[in-house]
Amino acid sequence: MDQDRILDKIKKCMEMAKSKTANPNEAEIALRQAHKLMEAYNLELGDVLASMACEVKIAAGSEGTPPTWRVRLAHVCAHAFGTKMIITTSAFSAAGFIFVGCAAAPELTGYAYQVLERQLQKARRDFLAEPKQKRCKRSTKVVRGDHFANGWIDAVYRKVDEFAGVEDNIAEAIEAYMAKHHPNLGTAEMKRRKLKARDEGAAVAGYQAGKAAQLHTAINHKPVARLTQGV
């Protein structure tokens, strides 16, 4: 019997043991069977929990280390869908984000990032195309564009934080997966540009534009893969 089938059997036993419909005797038998399988195949609880999670990798959309606003947007999406985010960089390939979670959550997180990134880029271009901004030199446009993007993300985060969250068993599965597949991760220090008085208008404009972005949630307060730009 291959390990995936063994893990599936153990997970089913553990689910039965935790089921509210199972009587105490059935729960005890299921839990005993799960422990018996784990001992027989030399598996630990961490192996079982890790098998409940998976990962999806997407392109960050920039060469080299992603700028702070891209990392923040990816983090907001991960927060919304209860996933863990990893930044990947390489001298031989474009930067990317890995999202670790359970069931469809990693895929939905990646989809959310791609959709919101397109919306944000369009809003940023529209802002920089305004007559007042068009007269600025390129370096000023870059700075104000970043402040606009961060303001936009601030607004989206406030929306997401209203329903974001993850159940304890999912959090445990993600942590077990991370420990098994990504045990030696480093830390990335992201610095947000200091906001100067002359650039405050860009941050405010970004925040107002970001309030129009909507990430719809399902009835059970879990986000679904349907993101739209509000009017």
**Residue 160 and residue 196 in one domain:** yes
Amino acid at 55: E
Strands 53-59 and 96-102: antiparallel
Q: Whole-angstrom Cα distance, residue 206 to residue 120? A: 9
Same domain, 23 and 78: no
Compute the average pLDDT of residues 23-35: 82
Residue 203 lies in a domain: yes
Reported as a single tens digit per residue, the pLDDT across 146-168 is 999 999 999 999 888 777 777 77
Containing structural domain, residue 37: 3-43
pTM: 0.79
Q: Residue 179 has what pLDDT?
A: 94
Specify whether 164 is located in the same domain as 91: yes
Examine the domain organization and report whether 86 and 19 are in the same domain.
Answer: no
Tokens of 102: 């359970």
Residues 115 and 35 both lie in one domain: no
User: For 55-81, what is the mean pLDDT?
Assistant: 92
As a whole number, the mean pLDDT across the chain is: 84
Domain count, the chain: 2
Of residues 47 and 162, the one with the higher pLDDT is 47
Is it the case that residue 218 has pLDDT exceeding 70?
Answer: no
Mean pLDDT of 180-186: 91
Average pLDDT over residues 118-130: 93
Q: Are residues 114 and 221 in the same domain?
A: yes
Q: Are residues 124 and 159 in the same domain?
A: yes
Judgement on whether residues 37 and 58 belong to the same structural domain of the protein: no
- Residue 137 above 80 pLDDT? yes
